[in-house]
Amino acid sequence: MIAPKKAKKRSEGGGSNVFSMFEQAQIQEFKEAFTIMDQNRDGFIDKNDLRDTFAALGRVNVKQEEIDEMLKEAPGPINFTVFLTMFGEKLKGADPEETILNAFKVFDPEAKGTLRKDFVTDMLTTQADRFSPEEMEQMFAAFPPDVAGNLDYKNLVHVITHGEEKDQE
């Protein structure tokens, strides 16, 4: 009788560890991503699921080696808990500023450090958690674009992650 209780407690502790790393909203977003990737809905992400996911994203000629490498990163079959743990390990110790900057850099291949105001507005008002016109107005009031209409996202990210530091100087 004692052993099963211990085992149960241990598995709960091991499972809750990874879930405590993220906020509930983040876990929900990871769950949605997992569900999208689990193409055959068997509760695990396998080679075929990855290949189908890449195809859905427009990459049809993914090498088998690339898929094998991705699967090797997992300690075993990839269920949701393993998926979450893998993201937790990748994000652990990641500097929030660097993480957010990298997200912006995806849209700035020339690494100019700025993005067009109209592009930023379009992205933030049409994708995922959409910004309202009022929120866009507030953002551009706090971070006005330059005369050419470019937003300095490096400054924006710095303030998001470190707070406004002008007062302390």
* 9-33 per-position pLDDT tens digit: 333 344 447 888 888 888 888 898 8
pLDDT score, position 158: 82
Instruction: Give pTM, 2 decimals.
Output: 0.49
pLDDT score, position 43: 96
Q: Which residues of the chain have pLDDT under 50?
A: 1-16, 167-169
Q: What is the 3-state secondary structure (H, E, C) of the chain?
A: CHHHHHHHHHHHHHHHHHHHCCCHHHHHHHHHHHHHHCCCCCCCECHHHHHHHHHHCCCCCCCHHHHHHHHHCCCCCECHHHHHHHHHHHHCCCCHHHHHHHHHHCCCCCCCCEEEHHHHHHHHHHCCCCCCHHHHHHHHHHCCCCCCCEEEHHHHHHHHHHCCCHHHC
* 27-51 per-position pLDDT tens digit: 888 898 899 899 899 999 999 999 9
pLDDT score, position 120: 84
